[in-house]
Amino acid sequence: MENLLLIFTDYTIRNVLLGAIVLGLVSGTLSAFAVLRKASLLGDTMSHAALPGVIIAFLITGVRAPLPLLIGALIAGLLGTLFMSLITSTTRIKQDSAQGVILAVFFGFGMALLSWVIRQPGSEHAGLDRFLFGQAAATVESDVITMAGIGGIALLLIALFWKEFKLITFDAQYARTIGLPVGLLDVLVTTLIVIAVVVGLQMVGVVLMSAMIAAPGAAARQWTNRLGVMVILSAVFGAVAGAAGALISSSAANVPTGPVIVLAITVIVIVSLLFAPNRGILWSLRRTKSVLAPSPVEPNAQAHVVGSARPKGVYEP
Amino acid sequence: MTQSQIEIQVVAALVAAACAIPGVFLVLRRSALISDAISHTVLLGIVIGFMLLGDIENPLLIVFAAGAGVLTVTLSELLLKTRRVREDAAIGLVFPALFSIAVIIITQNFGSIHIDVDAVLLGELAFAPFNRVDIIGSSLPRGVVVMGIILIANLIAVAVFYKELKLATFDAGLAAALGFSPALIHYGLMTSVSVTAVGAFDHVGSILVIALMIAPPAAAYLLTDRLARMIAYSALIGIAAAISGYWIARALNVNISGAMATMTGIFFVAALMFAPERGLIAQVIRRKRRGERFAVEMLLVHLRRHEGTSDEETENTLGHLTDELNWSPRYAHQTVKRAQRNGYVQLVSDALRLTDQGRTMASTLLAVR
Amino acid sequence: MTKDTSLYPIAVEDLTVAYHEEPVLWDVDVTVPAGALMAIVGPNGAGKSTLIKAMLGLVPRSAGHVHFFGRSYAEERQRVAYVPQRGSVDWDFPTNALDVVMMGRYGRIGWVKRPGKADRAVAHEALEMVGMRDFASRQISQLSGGQQQRVFLARALAQDADIYLMDEPFQGVDATTEHAIVRVLKDLQARGRTVVVVHHDLETVPEYFDHVLLLNVKAIANGRVEDVFTPENLRAAYGGRVDLLLKQEA
């Protein structure tokens, strides 16, 4: 109870909590699209690829202001995706290897740059390594405002281009025939995912940010068959995990925020996989007793059940 | 070169070679990102091992770490088997969770002891010469001994199971039909990845482990079609990246692992650009040649189609090609020149006419293959 | 230009398409008369799907032109509806049948705006036409292959176009679906629409279609079924295999 009161009185805890919720909302929303685009690991790649961008932005501007660093991260992340698609489209190297190369090489380059920057005289570079490991406790009000501003723009764009994003995610080819600039919209979605990643980086760090892109969408998918509901649920799951992480870590000594956020979202995933109606494992175990277990991911799995009942109004020979 | 410089490079070269062997199979089996997952989750194994054994130098730690690696793969596959999530999501869900548990245990229990999250990601090769063991009376860096053993183990494994690995990688169905268990080979490979990652990350950090497991094999994949050569090239590229990275790091005074990972990227880009068959430059040249030949063929077919028809006068002119074949005037001109050189067409003022040779060629092209 | 392309719903002129500089379609010249119900047939790798995709600008053309009512596809998008192969999308996408059909309205609705009541009504009507009225709110992964195919067909119907281009709609569907599709095709034709269908089953060509294009990289023959669907032309398109093919399918 005492800790709950601290939320309203303690400046640091309030910022951490608000930051974690914003992070969860934004990454949760984008996670839904990442999962549907089969790009769950994009968060992993992008969070690593962002590092050199952060350092170079720092070298150019000379200050550790959040916005320029985030823009640097964004540019590096997008360059990474560009290289990735260059590699997969021109060679026989597959997506996983291309992702791995980009992830490790960009991050390695960032590490080399960072070690050089840290050895320079002066103290402006202090705290740059937050972008590697994340340091939720160091979140200040200006960080929260920047995160909320950038995240808000991302969410607004999704709301605005909802129908277009839905169509290119489901059937890009058809989208092209009705005249949508599919390539451009693809870049926009990827940019939004990268934005979600870089917004969260300084709170939870590189490794754990990847979970925030992979997990909320995977959990939300289990509960619903509607895209709108899935995206909202995904955002809520992200926010709940963020809040839980911030509260738990502020109420106990020596508990880092980022890992707790990740464990919270992992618990949500496990619960969803087990108990979600229809798709949940327990549900299909119950059903197995009567019918053969349907498998949600495999298309047409229920063809033999559903297809046998002929709908009304169909031409019968 | 001082002795410690030589020792650092030997450790780095051993790491590079040891990583290349399982790395080749990861890249070929399209599970490269498993190395990313495993190289992070071995931390959990080390933490748990350390809690149980109470000694960070205990060789048994490697067993715990390898166990954590295999656990990562097993959990991912279990998740995949529920068919509620896809493969990419399965990996992305498991390893951050295990890594988080490890980080929480570390911060809770040993805030300041040797296990340090930064060191896991980044590694510090410069310390390699200071951590020594005595083997048969001579003092060697621990890294040389550990990575030497792992490299030899990987070499033996790949030599003994070469045929099985090859078959299971390229045709899992056939391998199973012939009685080799693809699952056994798969878990064997994952064990090798885990053990290599554990041995290596202590010295070079998990990022360089990933870089060395993926980038050199990916580069080698562009250079050869033969499995044995791909392994050899990967090892050589990895070693070259490690050693060049070391000297660059020294010259610029930057993090050694970071410089080495950057060098794997440079070598990869070099292969991507200059690989003799599959490189981008070779592709561009080949496409240009084929494109030129194809343009002449298109010209002949176009002329043949409109030859003797009422619209021949308008269709078969140099000026009309730009519209009809979507060519720039310059490209149309070049293509006509090329066709003239081959004796396929004649240009009479602005009108294009097929020669007998050109007509035969066009008919051949149009015949159903 | 000697031919007045505006007289035809579809006019393909000297179309050449190449993948990696190897021709997949060679100098194809086809006109489709208004109200035609045309099958595109040919052996595997003949470029049937590629022809449709090249018409729609989904694959780049090396040479030639495609006109819809004498104008480019970009100008006439709304009047051309496309039914892609069923396997080209992931049916585990979280949405229902009605929502997919509604996507057929997106081109008309335009950017940012949401579908309205009228669009919903059109989508319901389209589902009704393919015999899927009762499946409007069914999650698409829970539909059979044939039902999914009919959802795709309904999406094209919801676009209310003048030209329909369909890529293998009969591929792997049940008898109910096959009949439903045929009924829709005849209905479209009765309403004066032009329909072009990539088709595999030679046997049913005379029954389902009135025009046919025999394709094998180049256009072998093109015209009314009774004129061009001859053993000689089939042999030219399929090579010696056609006798075997017809026998197998008989």
Q: Is C26 on the interface with B (CB under 8 A)?
A: yes
CATH number at residue A283: 1.10.3470.10
CB-based contact, A193 to chain B, within 8 Å = no
- The three-state secondary structure class of C28 is strand
Q: Which two tokens stand for residue C8?
A: 């035809």
Tell me the C-alpha distance between B252 and C38, whole Å.
Answer: 70
Chains that touch A (3 or more CB pairs under 8 A): B, C
Contact A131, A73 (CB under 8 A): yes
B100 — contact with chain C (CB < 8 Å)? no
Residue B117, pLDDT score: 57
Instruction: Please determine, for residue B144, whether its predicted confidence score (pLDDT) is greater than 80.
Output: yes
One DSSP character per residue, B291-353 reads HHHHHHHHHHHHHHHHTTSTTHHHHSBHHHHHHHS---HHHHHHHHHHHHHTTSEEEETTEEE
Per-residue model confidence (pLDDT) at position A299: 41
Residue-range definition of the domain harbouring residue C218: 5-249
* Amino acid at position C205, single letter: V
What does the alpha-carbon distance between residue A200 and residue A157 come to, in Å, rounded to a whole number?
18
Residues 6+ apart with CB under 8 A from A214: A31, A34, A35, A40, A41, A43, A44, B88, B89, B92, B93, B96
Q: Which of B218, B203, B259, B264 is nearest to B239 (CA)?
A: B264
As for how many domains chain A has, the answer is 1
Helices C175-190, C145-158: axis angle to 10 degrees equals: 20
Domain residues for A175? 2-296
In this predicted structure, the answer to whether residue C248 has a pLDDT above a threshold of 80 is: no
A contacts of B268 (beta carbons < 8 Å): 101, 105
- Nearest-CA distance from C111 to chain A in Å? 8
Tell me which residue in B108, B217, B254 faces A115 most closely, judged by beta carbons.
B254
Residue A255 within any structural domain of the chain: yes
User: Contact at 8 Å (CB) between B174 and B153?
Assistant: no
**In a 10 Å sphere around its CB, with 0-12 CB exposed, 13-18 middle and 19+ buried, how is residue B331 labelled?**
middle
Average pLDDT over residues B15-36: 94
Phi/psi of residue C10, each to 5°? -130, 130
pLDDT at A178: 92
- What is the reported pLDDT for A4? 60
CA-nearest residue to A97 within chain B is: B32
pLDDT value at position A303? 34
Which token pair is B88? Answer: 């990419």
Does position C1 have pLDDT exceeding 80, yes or no?
no
pLDDT over 70 at A174, yes or no: yes
What is the count of structural domains for chain C? Answer: 1
Query: A79-83, A251-255, B142-146, B273-277 — which is least confidently predicted?
Result: A251-255
Q: How do residues B215-271 score in pLDDT, each as one tens digit?
A: 999 999 999 999 999 999 999 999 999 999 999 999 999 999 999 999 999 999 999
pLDDT-derived band at A5, boundaries 50, 70, 90: low
DSSP A295: -
N- to C-terminal Cα separation, chain B: 66
Are the C-beta atoms of A214 and A43 separated by less than 8 Å? yes
Question: Of B29, B69, B22, whose CA–CA distance to B212 is shortest?
Answer: B22
What number of CA atoms fall less than 13 Å from residue A214's CA on the CB side?
Answer: 30
Q: Indicate the residue of C2, C20, C63 with minimum beta-carbon distance to B298.
A: C63
Q: How far is CA C76 from the centre of its chain?
A: 16
> Would the pLDDT of A131 be above 80?
no
Average pLDDT over residues B174-180: 76
CA dist., res. A273 & res. A283, Å (int) = 10
Residue A279 lies in a domain: yes
Å from B344 to nearest chain A CA?
34
**Contact list, A100 vs chain B (CB under 8 Å):** 32-33, 35-36, 210, 213-215, 218
- pLDDT interval class at B50 (50, 70, 90): confident
Average pLDDT (A59-84) is 89
Enter the DSSP assignment of C23.
Answer: E
Is B281-366 a CATH 1.10.10.10 domain?
yes
Is the pLDDT at C167 greater than 80? The verdict is yes
Q: Is the pLDDT of residue B61 over 50?
A: yes
Query: pLDDT tens digits, residue range A190-225?
Result: 999 988 998 888 888 887 888 999 999 999 999 999
How far B271 CA sits from the closest chain C CA (Å)? 22
Calpha distance C234→C218 (Å, rounded): 13
Residue whose C-alpha is closest to residue B278's, from B339, B348, B224: B224
Range in A62-76, A87-101, A117-131, B284-298 with the lowest mean pLDDT: A117-131
The answer as to whether A305 is a domain residue is no
C20 to chain B: closest CA residue? B287
pLDDT at A309 over 60: no
| Cα separation, A25 vs A21, whole angstroms | 6
Q: Are strands C80-83 and C10-19 parallel, antiparallel or unpaired?
A: unpaired
CA distances in angstroms from A13 to A19, A27, B84, listed in the order given:
10, 21, 36
In this prediction, residues B298-327 reach a mean pLDDT of 80
How many beta-carbon pairs below 8 A join chains B and C?
51
pLDDT tens, residue by residue, A215-256: 999 999 999 999 999 999 999 999 999 999 999 988 877 788
Q: Which of A3-17, A121-135, B116-130 has the lowest average pLDDT? A: B116-130
Of A86-95, A118-127, B292-301, the range with the lowest mean pLDDT is A118-127
Question: Which of B27, B88, B122, B253 best tests the A interface by mutation, with the highest count of A CBs <10 A?
Answer: B88
CA separation for the pair A77, A191 (Å, rounded):
8
Give Cβ neighbours of residue C7 (< 8 Å, ≥ 6 apart).
Answer: C70
Which residue shows structure tokens 């309904």? Answer: C154
Contacts of B294 in chain C (CB under 8 A): 18, 21-23, 62
Q: How far lies C118's CA from each of C79, C80, C108, C114, C158, in Å? A: 19, 20, 12, 11, 11
Q: Assess if residue A103 is contained within a domain.
A: yes
Question: Considering only the top CATH level, what class is B3-275?
Answer: mainly alpha
Note whether B111 and A254 are within 8 A (CB).
Answer: yes
Q: Is the pLDDT of residue B100 over 80?
A: yes
Which residues of chain A does B121 touch, with a Cβ-Cβ cutoff of 8 Å? 132-133, 206-207
Instruction: Please state, in angstroms and rounded to a whole number, the distance separating the CA atoms of residues C163 and A283.
Output: 46
Query: Within an 8 Å CB–CB cutoff, is residue B255 touching chain A?
Result: yes
Q: What is the mean pLDDT of chain C?
A: 90
Residue of B nearest to A90 (CA): B280
Q: Quick check: B285 contacting A, CB < 8 Å?
A: no
Angle at alpha carbon of residue C96, lines to C78 and A273, rounded to 5°: 140
**Subunit contact C144:A303, Cβ cutoff 8 A:** yes
- Residue A41 at interface with chain B, using a CB cutoff of 8 Å: yes
Rounded to the nearest integer, the mean pLDDT of chain B is 87
Subunit contact B101:A259, Cβ cutoff 8 A = yes
Structure tokens at A43: 């968060």
Query: Is the Cβ–Cβ distance between C154 and C127 less than 8 Å?
Result: yes
Touching subunits for chain C (3+ Cβ pairs under 8 A): A, B
Burial label, C20 (beta-carbon count in 10 A; 0-12, 13-18, 19+): exposed
> Residue A311 and residue C179: Cβ atoms within 8 Å?
no
Q: Does the beta-carbon distance from A105 to B89 stay under 8 Å?
A: no
Q: Find the residue in C nearest to A317 (Cα).
A: C179
A174:C84 CB<8 A? yes
**Closest-approach residue (CA) in chain A for B252:** A116
C48: its two tokens: 């049937």
Task: Say if C14 is an interface residue toward chain B (CB within 8 Å).
Answer: yes
Rounded to the nearest angstrom, the minimum Cα separation between B143 and chain A is 21
Nearest to B326 among C63, C220, C236 (CB): C63
Q: What's the pLDDT score for residue A87?
A: 95
Of A61-70, A150-159, A271-280, the one with minimum mean pLDDT is: A61-70
Please tell me the least confidently modeled range out of A95-104, A195-204, C214-223.
Answer: A195-204
Mutate to test the interface with C, among B326, B331, B335, B361 (most CBs of C within 10 A): B326
pLDDT exceeds cutoff 60 at A310: no
Query: Measured in whole angstroms, how far is the alpha carbon of residue B84 from the centre of its chain?
Result: 29
Does C227 have pLDDT greater than 90? Answer: yes
pLDDT at A317 over 80: no
- CA angle, B34 as apex, B33 and B39 as ends, to 5°? 100
Q: Looking at the predicted structure, is the pLDDT value of residue A291 above 50?
A: no
**Which of A230-234, B21-25, B177-181, B292-296 shows the lowest per-residue confidence on average (mean pLDDT)?**
B177-181
Flag if A176 and C58 touch (Cβ within 8 Å): yes
Scanning chain B, the segments in alpha helix (DSSP H) are 3-28, 33-53, 61-81, 87-109, 117-122, 142-160, 162-170, 172-177, 182-204, 206-221, 227-252, 256-274, 280-306, 312-315, 318-324, 329-341, 356-366
Per-residue pLDDT tens over the stretch C108-130: 998 888 899 999 999 999 999 99
> Are C141 and A227 an interchain contact pair (Cβ–Cβ within 8 Å)?
no
In one letter, which amino acid is C95?
Answer: T
Domain ranges of chain B: 3-275, 281-366
Q: Within the 83-122 window of chain A, which residues sit less than 8 Å (CB to CB) from chain B?
A: 87, 90-101, 103-116, 119
Residue C64: which of C116, C109, C29 has the closest Cα?
C29
CATH of the domain at C245: 3.40.50.300
pLDDT at residue C246 in the model: 55
The three-state DSSP-derived secondary structure of C118-143 is: HHHHHHHHHHHHCCCHHHCCCEHHHC
Distance CA C32, CA A287 (A): 52
B87, B284, B294, best to mutate vs chain C, most C CBs in 10 Å: B294
Cβ distance of C23 and B297 shorter than 8 Å: yes
Tell me the two tokens of residue A40: 């769950």
Please enumerate residues of A whose Cβ is less than 8 A from a Cβ of C.
36, 160-164, 166-167, 169-171, 173-174, 176-180, 221, 224-227, 229-230, 296-303, 306-307, 310-317
**pLDDT above 90 covers what percent of chain A?**
55
Examine residue A312 and state whether it is found in any structural domain, yes or no: no
